[in-house]
Amino acid sequence: MNSNGVDQTAEDIRREIAALQEAKADIDDRISALQAQLSTCVSKDGTNGTNCCASLEPPPGGQLSADMIYRYSRQLILPSFGVEAQANLLKSSVLVIGAGGLGSPALLYLAACGVGLCRLGIVDHDVVELNNLHRQIIHTEAFIGRSKVESAAASCRAINSTVQIVEHKEAFRTSNALEIMRGYDIVIDATDNVPSRYMINDCCVVLGKPLISGAALGLEGQLTVYNYNGGPCYRCLFPTPPPSTSCQRCSDSGVLGVVPGVIGCLQALEAIKVAGVVGEPLSGRMLLFDALSARLRVVRLSLVKIRGRSPKCEACGENSTLTEEQFCNFDYENFTQSPLSTCPLKLHLLPEEARITSNEYNERNLKGEPHILVDVRPAHHYKITSLPKSLNIPLASMEGRLSEIATAFAREESNTTATGEASRVPSLFVICRRGNDSQRAVELLHNKGFPFAKDIIGGLESWSHEVDPKFPIY
């Protein structure tokens, strides 16, 4: 019973929480916008409105205002950083492409250190999902279902309302890339796919912007700075794209949240070095991070002084003529043979008659139809969740384990005979996570003496959507 004496169901409570969270997010947005507005007014009229963001105008002769000196004091007193580097940071603008696992910590640190007093841009077209939050730490539960750019911008403004955050709620494409990137000094590649990496590199070469490139997958990360001060670009090192089958994604291969966190922090650091004009940015070198063995090493990619960029490079080499127009017309998806968006692959390998829907499987199972169900996911996926009475034979080892399927099949057949249903030959169904590996497995089974094997369309994901909403999706 609530205070009104009316019974509230769980659904009512959930609805009310959702409504309140939405209202709260709107209020938070408005507060950040007003704070940003206030800091501008204050710096114009010189009155001291709040403690945190008053009198941004530097005093005559000085480089930083009193509030800036107080806010950034702990890095100002570093002898190797100091007021010059801080002033350089404040004058720089940085574009972060991707507000995910890498972009989250990069944005938080860049906003905090004052790098984007001119402009800190965020590009992303995606929305926040619950399974992002373990690594994309800039987002909060309240923003699930809302734009990642809005969510990231709100977090950045909450940390530092004096930074000018620019929201680019769109995918980064050849059609808008030049226009977006032109307004910034430094670019951070925090994307998650190969065509975007080539596209961002080429755009940086065309516009002459240094590129801080990071990547993470599983328990490993990599970091380097491209197109900086005569150093190599991405195409100098990788003129030919990798085969699309070698490009794993976090949604398929997994990633430990803190790993992109480490690399994203290091991207912020390299951007701060380039913007602040301090230290030796990681150009012509690559940092390799192996989380499990706690090893971090820096390898030399080129002898920068002797051979910076590759003279043969198609983007930045001596005879290269990559123009803005050529960039706009380049087909990056075709070049890399992989899609710019990261939506999961949907294979169609099998004819209709070799497939059934999850609903149909459910009906046949409920009728007690004799069958065996083979789950071809890797064993560590099977341990997360599985359907009852399924037999786990991972696709990678299936060829050597066909006898196990034959044994299970013979057992099911003899059970059927024992109950007097001699006319019914058991069926053989194959399931996986999303319905791609199950098709590959059925192809294999068709060639290895099981011509009647069928795949369950859409895998366990469709089972959860169509049959049992309580079945976990991962």
Partner 1 sequence: MQLTLEFGGGLELLCDSIKIHNVNVEPQGEEKKITVRHLLSWVRTNLIKERPEMFMKGDTVRPGVLVLINDCDWELSGQLETVLEEKDVVVFISTLHGG
Binding residue positions: 101, 124, 131-135, 148, 192-193, 233, 236, 313, 316
- Cβ neighbours of 118 (radius 10 Å): 17
Which of 204, 247, 250, 265 is the catalytic position? 250
Q: Is 47 in the site for partner 1 (CB under 8 A)?
A: no
Residue 246 lies near partner 1 (rule: CB under 8 A): yes
Q: How far is the CB of 222 from partner 1 (least distance, A)?
A: 5
Q: Does 297 participate in binding partner 1 (rule CB under 8 A)? A: yes
Interface pick for partner 1 out of 299, 343, 366, 418 (rule CB under 8 A): 299
Closest contact distance (angstroms) between CB of 218 and partner 1 is 7
- The one segment of 50-58, 97-105, 416-424, 444-452 that binds partner 1 by CB under 8 A: 97-105
Which residues, other chains included, contact 384 with Cβ-Cβ below 8 Å and sequence gap of 6+?
472, 474
E strand intervals along 269-395: 285-290, 295-300, 355-356, 371-375, 390-392
Q: How far is CA 260 from the centre of its chain?
A: 9
**Could you tell me which residues are annotated as the binding site for ATP?**
101, 124, 131-135, 148, 192-193
Give 300 or 389: the residue with its C-beta nearer to partner 1.
Answer: 300
- Does residue 100 interact with partner 1 by CB under 8 A? yes
Toward partner 1, which CB reaches closer, 2 or 253?
A: 253
The answer to whether the beta carbons of residues 225 and 131 sit under 8 Å apart is: no
Instruction: Please write down the long-range contacts of 174-177, taking CB distance under 8 Å and 24 or more positions apart.
Output: 174/199, 174/327, 174/328, 174/329, 174/330, 174/332, 175/328, 177/203, 177/327
**How far is it, in rounded angstroms, from Cα 177 to Cα 174?**
5
Cα three-residue angle 401-417-409, rounded to 5 degrees: 10
DSSP structure class, residue 247 = -
Our CB check for partner 1 shows the closer of 1 and 299 to be: 299
Question: Using the rule CB under 8 A, is 317 a contact of partner 1?
Answer: no
Site size for partner 1 (CB under 8 A):
47
Q: Which of 214, 276, 426, 459 binds partner 1 (CB under 8 A)?
A: 214
265 given a catalytic annotation: no
- Residue 138's identity, in one-letter code, is I
Q: Up-side HSE of residue 64: CA atoms within 13 Å toward CB?
A: 22
Among the candidate windows 29-37, 191-199, 447-455, 465-473, which touches partner 1 by CB under 8 A?
191-199
Q: How far is the CB of 114 from partner 1 (least distance, A)?
A: 25
Residue 122 contacts residue 152 (beta carbons within 8 Å): yes
Query: E-assigned strands of 134-251?
Result: 165-168, 186-189, 211-217, 220-226
Residue 102 binds to partner 1 (criterion: CB under 8 A): yes
Residue 53 is a catalytic residue: no
Residue closer to partner 1, measured from CB, 302 or 362? 302
**By CB under 8 A, residue 124 contacts partner 1:** no
Is residue 217 a contact point for partner 1 (CB under 8 A)? yes
Does residue 281 belong to the site contacting partner 1 (CB under 8 A)?
no
CA 247, CA 236: separation in Å to the nearest integer? 19
466, 359 in Cβ contact below 8 A?
yes
CB nearer to partner 1: give 335 or 471: 335
Q: Does 114 bind partner 1 (CB under 8 A)?
A: no
Angle at 98 between CA 97 and CA 102, to 5 degrees: 110
CA-based nearest residue to 84, from 288, 278, 324, 255: 278
Residue 237 touches partner 1, criterion: CB under 8 A? yes
Residues of this chain that interact with partner 1 (CB under 8 A) are 98, 100-103, 190-194, 197, 214-218, 220-222, 237-243, 245-250, 253, 255, 260, 286, 288, 290, 293, 297-303, 396
What are the residue numbers of the active site?
250, 432
